[in-house]
Structure 1
Amino acid sequence: VPETTPDGQTQIDNLNLEIIDKIEVIRGIGSSLYGNSSAGIIKIQTIGEIKNNFTKISYSSGSNQKNKKQVLFGLKNNKSSYSFLLSQTKSQGYRDNSGFKNNNLNISLISNINTNSKLRFNFNYVNSPYAIDPGGLTIEEVNKNRKQSRDRNMIYDSQESIDHYKLSMNLEKKINNKLSLSNYLFYSNRDFEGKIPVKNGGAIKLDRKYWGFGSNISFDNKIKVQIGFDVGNQKDNRKRFFNNEGKIGELVLNQKEKFLNYGIYLVSSYNIKNITILSGLRFDNNRISLKDIYLNDGDSSDKIDLKSINPSLGINYKPNSLIRFFANISSGFETPTLNEYGSSPIGSGFNKSLKSQKSTNYEFGFSKRSINNDLKIDIVYFNSLTKDEVLPYENPQFPNQVFYNNAGKTKRKGVEFSGHYDLNDFFSINSSISIGEYLFHEFQKNQENYSGNSIPGIPNNIFIFDVSYKRSSSLFINISLKKIGEMYANNSNSVKIDNYNLVNLKIGQEISFKKIMLKPFLTINNLFSVNYYDNIRINAFGGRYYEPAPKTTFFGGIKIAF
């Protein structure tokens, strides 16, 4: 079931880490299988079937008055299993006027209808009554007081609130030993209210409803084939009002936006001894329309049709069961989102100058596993060329508002490494390295030539290394090092963001008492109190690029399971 909306936006604030069983990151472009906005894929697998009844209760608190309360139940009977999670997280925030509150509910049902059919039902809900935005700062303001909020954000009461729920069902059926069928259906509603530090149109109300369904049939033989289709429909009712220093004023925009997508695809794999050939092909049609309700400034109603065909081809070579070499080429596309289309410098209506970005990606790699699986190594070289990449910017005529334009051609190439090694029964090591070059290949705007410059907001290298220790006494310690390379804040590369190193520490212990498990823990983030930024506002007007991150923070608590 997709978490990404039909127009390509992804919000996962409705998913709680406690119910996530596995996260898999799939490299490369996935448009031949998943369609729009599939430059990278994250597959999230939530809790599956439950073997035994359980209850888990946890409470934690820490720096900046952050605290989290959570309860999770799991129930099991002959054919079905249920899980129920309720949690609340709130914090005052590191910076002035940066607090938030989040309430979350997740309900899951898995039912084995018979030996060949399985039904899964999910409901999740999130209510965030407030998340206050302290705004971006100039470097002078950061150096003076990195915890301060921008004065204009305080004057205009910049913040947002969200009310979001999603219902989904998935039915899997094994027809015979070679044929299987998978179907999904979902409906979601998201109400958003926000205020930005702008008077005209600075108060926003968005009512988003989106639904979708899809089906695929898989044939498993020497040639494996999957054929399927997806349909997604999104409707946004967007309104904007005057923001009279935090008070909602007169209506200035009212438009209904719609994004309808349907796609059909075919993927296959063919084995020839120790060689596997993989291929995929997908066709998508996206119909985007806008109906202008507020006609005081004219009728800006419009519609656009965007079609795309995306193939992929790959080959795997396994000289033995422990080593694999692979290569693939794939194409992808990403339409502007409704928000990007609707952010028009001329006022209401579509920003029709925006084009869909299209990419071609090449990958060559190697992976190795040891016999007992204590060693895992993956090395990948990637090279990707994108045409008409969508980038944010701020217009001096409309300060504090974000608009979007296309950036000619961009090029990304580099090497990624990931590894895991169990030193012994107690120590294990994980590491990942990304070294790359991310450049504007051809890009001119307002008589400025940015060709050859680095794409802003992307660090040139990332290094993550962590060591875990766990004894049979259930004591565990994890220490991690994260090195983030330098990057730029704007297209001209005149503002450089320095590299930084972060060290985090987590320690805890599992204590068994009859049928009760206690797990006290303590986490220390940014152990050496490094100055860095948790967000850079790309191409921000007035030099307000910087959103400072917390220095050393502590977070501890206890989990009880029975």
Structure 2
Amino acid sequence: MKTILSFLFSITFCLNFFAQNTTLKDSVTQLREVIVIDTLTAKNAIGIIPSKIIGASVFNNYSPVDFIGAINQVSGVYALSGALNTNRITIRGVGSRTPFGTDKLRLYYNNIPVTNGTGFSTIEAYDLENLTSVEIIKGPKGSSFGTNLGGAIILNTKKLENRPTAFTNKTTIGSYGLIKNNLAFTHNQNDLYLSFQYGHMEIDGYRENNRFERDGYLLNTIYRLSKKSEIGILFNHIDYSAQIASSINQSDFDEDPTQAAFTWKNAQGYEDNNYSLIGVSHTYRPTGNLTNTSSVFYTYLDHYEPRPFNILDEYTNGFGFRNLFSGTLNISDKALTYTFGGELYKDEYTWGTFENLYEQNNGNGSLKGERLSDNKEFRTQINGFATAGYSFSEKLTAQIGLNINKTKYDFRDRFTEGEFNKSAQRNFKTLFLPSMDLRFTPSAQSQFYLNISRGFSNPSLEETLTPSGVINPDIQQEIGMNYELGTKLTNKDQKMQLRIAVYLMPINNLLVAKRIDDDQYIGRNAGKTEHKGLDLDWNYTFYLSPKISIAPYFNYSFSAHKFIEFTDEEAEQDYAGNSLTGVPKHKINLGLQSTFGNGFYANITHQFVDSIPLTDANSIYSDSFNVLNAKLGYATSLNDHFNLGIHFGVNNITNTTYAQSVLINASSFGGNAPRYFYPGNNTNYYGGVQLKYTL
């Protein structure tokens, strides 16, 4: 923490000096688009209450490989990354108890839901260089986007408007054998827009058994049928393979963080994935006050994963549709805005496990043996939603919303016969999830808002099962209420923005996943948690001359999350009052973005993460850490057709040893120490060249 305070003091001193000795030139307007932190005002997701949108100005702080770094710059969000293929995103503490992966939030890709039927999302399946922006809804405020307790993340691809026909190629190389190339083609002609991108990445990784290789294809096209109607086609395909180093214990972490877990190294564990998304959408605007967007979509995931304890072979077919109406009505010379629609998502999940005979394979890694299980599950989620907003005056606006959710699981055991067959259904009750928002705007420089909303989280597949593998009829969905008060303040010239939000979210029917074997978890509703905290975002743009500017930013998360009721029956321990496992109490992201009129830019980012409780008893904590990164770049036009860009970056400048992800309540099998830690990378470098040709 002393490092943070000294760094803040240095920045504050420098900024005060610049502020007192610099004159702003009114003619400087172009730099603002590049430097200022992306706007907080949501145009897409939730109407009058702000979500957080990050785009090019945030992405440019990080390596094109570092999607998680960009997300971590958002206050209230903490993304843990055990590897490029092992990520867990938590929003205001929700999702922190999930052992692996991201759940309890809803992920959308160009407004198409890509979260699977039990609530898991795989953000690692998407390439940062294919995105224009990422919109993050914190908590269940988004009636039109699932009202999950964690909120929603909406990934948007490249912008369509005013883009000329062009070829762009960006190549990045770096430490650990990193090679990444992204080739893009965009074309605009009359009523047709087309964009195609191909990306390839490979990297050996910092640790043993850590290689990652990915190929991705993205096609996005829109054709305007008439002035009122247009149709779009989206195709995204990802093929990646990733070795798995897994987590290690404290002793191994201290001795050599590059080593893989012993059994995973011997089994040469890995995962191989093929993922496809196909979507067709139609937008119709019958009048200037009404718009309808309908989309149908299909997703496919083929996943193969040899683990030391068995081999998992699975595939998922998902399909559905989404329909949204939005418009305005004039009432007493004032506008009432509204949305309504529905969303259906169904998937068929087929999975089986096999023996892994790696110990009999003469050191050649995993070897497939006899089948151990054969299962299939049909999962259905239906969301109906509506919102209505009305401005009582120029300063006061109110909005109400409602989401209705229905979830059903149908589990088929295709391996066990007779009385031991585990097939069963689980039909959750219909949930009614209202929200209410107020926004007060006393001046052009200030805005205040209030949100009260109800949200839910579904249990994962593992959490619906009993220790014997049978569906648990008593497991319930988590239900919570979000109470949030926030403000957005700016100065008259918009150079400064300050956003503060305080929130309280009590959650009932806390879902607890307990590990009872290497690959088996069970779930139960164990009590209540209280999520309360503060999110703060500040940024300021200083113009040192007509061509030179610096923009510091400071994002802070305070998370005072705790158990209200939680008794571990097996351990005969009452954990009420303990801090919520897996969440740092303090998280700080700060940095400087600088641009120079000659095409050069320089960015520096710093992250502080507080210690994290690793057990429900709060008996073991991870160490807090600071990570410092820097990036330099240069962009110029060679002629009327060619543009050139060059960048170079250094991550973890101070060579800090830290855990970039942790596994909470890690169990110990065979007398081995529990494996809590996924080490972060040491000091590493990257650099790249971008060449763009415009017709």
| TM-score, with length taken from structure 2 | 0.77
Closer, same or farther in 2 for the Cα pair 1:164/1:339, shift >3 Å?
farther
**1:30 partnered with 2:149:** no
- Equivalent residue for 2:652? 526
- Equivalent residue for 1:409? 528
**1:558 partnered with 2:689:** yes
**1:309 partnered with 2:410:** no
**1:258 partnered with 2:371:** no
**1:453 partnered with 2:566:** no
Q: Is the 8 A contact 1:13 1:126 kept in 2?
A: no
Q: Is the 8 A contact 1:466 1:479 kept in 2?
A: yes
1:176 partner letter: T
CA deviations 1:117-175 (Å, max 9, x no partner) are 222211000001x2111121111111121111111112333211100100012222111
1:6 partner letter: G
- Equivalent residue for 2:327? 219
Q: Is the 8 A contact 2:346 2:380 kept in 1?
A: yes
**1:370 partnered with 2:491:** yes
How many angstroms apart in 1 are the aligned matches of 2:462 and 2:688? 39
- TM-superposed deviation, 1:77: 0.5
- Counterpart selection for 1:544 from 657, 661, 675: 675
- Secondary structure at the aligned position of 1:18 is classed as helix
- Counterpart selection for 1:387 from 485, 488, 508: 508
- Equivalent residue for 1:361? 482
Q: Is the 8 A contact 1:167 1:188 kept in 2?
A: yes
- Equivalent residue for 1:511? 636
- Secondary structure at the aligned position of 1:174 is classed as strand
- TM-superposed deviation, 1:56: 0.9
How many angstroms apart in 2 are the aligned matches of 1:535 and 1:352? 33
Q: Is the 8 A contact 1:214 1:230 kept in 2?
A: yes
- Secondary structure at the aligned position of 1:300 is classed as coil
1:504 partner letter: N
Q: Which moved more, 1:141-150 or 1:35-44?
A: 35-44
- TM-superposed deviation, 1:75: 1.0
Closer, same or farther in 2 for the Cα pair 1:321/1:172, shift >3 Å?
farther
In structure 2, stretches of 5+ residues that fail to align are 1-111, 330-334, 359-365, 669-673
- TM-superposed deviation, 1:34: 2.4
- Equivalent residue for 1:346? 468
- Secondary structure at the aligned position of 1:497 is classed as coil
1:242-281 alignment to 2 at 5 Å?
A: 242-245=355-358, 246-273=366-393, 274-281=395-402
CA deviations 1:396-417 (Å, max 9, x no partner) are xx24655444341011111110
- Equivalent residue for 2:52? none
How many angstroms apart in 2 are the aligned matches of 1:479 and 1:138? 32
Closer, same or farther in 2 for the Cα pair 1:203/1:352, shift >3 Å?
farther
How many angstroms apart in 2 are the aligned matches of 1:400 and 1:178? 53
Closer, same or farther in 2 for the Cα pair 1:315/1:102, shift >3 Å?
same
Q: Is the 8 A contact 1:323 1:366 kept in 2?
A: yes
CA deviations 1:212-256 (Å, max 9, x no partner) are 102122231322121111111011001111112221111111111
- Counterpart selection for 2:567 from 444, 453, 460: 444
Closer, same or farther in 2 for the Cα pair 1:94/1:403, shift >3 Å?
farther
2:327 partner letter: F
- Secondary structure at the aligned position of 2:225 is classed as strand
How many angstroms apart in 2 are the aligned matches of 1:93 and 1:392? 30
- Equivalent residue for 2:457? 334
How many angstroms apart in 2 are the aligned matches of 1:33 and 1:519? 39
1:153 partner letter: W
- Secondary structure at the aligned position of 2:124 is classed as coil
Q: Which moved more, 1:355-364 or 1:370-379?
A: 370-379
| TM-score, with length taken from structure 1 | 0.95
**1:210 partnered with 2:318:** yes
- Equivalent residue for 1:474? 599
1:272 partner letter: F
How many angstroms apart in 1 are the aligned matches of 2:195 and 2:462? 35
How many angstroms apart in 2 are the aligned matches of 1:407 and 1:178? 48
- Secondary structure at the aligned position of 2:287 is classed as coil
Q: Is the 8 A contact 1:28 1:363 kept in 2?
A: no
Q: Is the 8 A contact 2:140 2:148 kept in 1?
A: no
- TM-superposed deviation, 1:27: 2.5
2:691 partner letter: I
How many angstroms apart in 1 are the aligned matches of 2:375 and 2:600? 57
How many angstroms apart in 2 are the aligned matches of 1:69 and 1:276? 47
**1:234 partnered with 2:355:** no
CA deviations 1:297-352 (Å, max 9, x no partner) are 8211100111211011111111123211111111101111335436x5324x4355
How many angstroms apart in 2 are the aligned matches of 1:351 and 1:499? 38
Closer, same or farther in 2 for the Cα pair 1:293/1:410, shift >3 Å?
same
**1:161 partnered with 2:272:** yes
How many angstroms apart in 1 are the aligned matches of 2:460 and 2:223? 36
- Equivalent residue for 2:216? 104
2:636 partner letter: I
Q: Is the 8 A contact 1:31 1:310 kept in 2?
A: no
2:447 partner letter: R
How many angstroms apart in 2 are the aligned matches of 1:19 and 1:145? 35
1:162 partner letter: N
Q: Is the 8 A contact 1:167 1:187 kept in 2?
A: yes
How many angstroms apart in 1 are the aligned matches of 2:595 and 2:473? 57
- TM-superposed deviation, 1:58: 1.6
Q: Is the 8 A contact 1:237 1:256 kept in 2?
A: yes
- Secondary structure at the aligned position of 2:207 is classed as coil
How many angstroms apart in 2 are the aligned matches of 1:265 and 1:228? 6
How many angstroms apart in 2 are the aligned matches of 1:340 and 1:61? 42
How many angstroms apart in 1 are the aligned matches of 2:679 and 2:124? 22
1:278-289 alignment to 2 at 5 Å?
A: 278-289=399-410
1:60 partner letter: T
**1:429 partnered with 2:556:** no
Q: How many residues align?
A: 554
How many angstroms apart in 2 are the aligned matches of 1:400 and 1:210? 24
- Counterpart selection for 2:177 from 65, 76, 79: 65
- TM-superposed deviation, 1:511: 2.8
CA deviations 1:63-83 (Å, max 9, x no partner) are 111111221111111001111
**1:535 partnered with 2:661:** yes
1:164-203 alignment to 2 at 5 Å?
A: 164-198=275-309, 202-203=310-311
Q: Is the 8 A contact 1:458 1:487 kept in 2?
A: yes
- TM-superposed deviation, 1:353: 5.1
- TM-superposed deviation, 1:393: 3.6
- TM-superposed deviation, 1:476: 0.6
How many angstroms apart in 1 are the aligned matches of 2:688 and 2:512? 41
Q: Is the 8 A contact 2:165 2:187 kept in 1?
A: yes
How many angstroms apart in 2 are the aligned matches of 1:156 and 1:391? 29
In structure 1, stretches of 5+ residues that fail to align are none
Q: Is the 8 A contact 1:489 1:539 kept in 2?
A: yes
Q: Higher strand fraction: Structure 1 or Structure 2? A: 1
**1:92 partnered with 2:198:** no
How many angstroms apart in 2 are the aligned matches of 1:495 and 1:188? 41
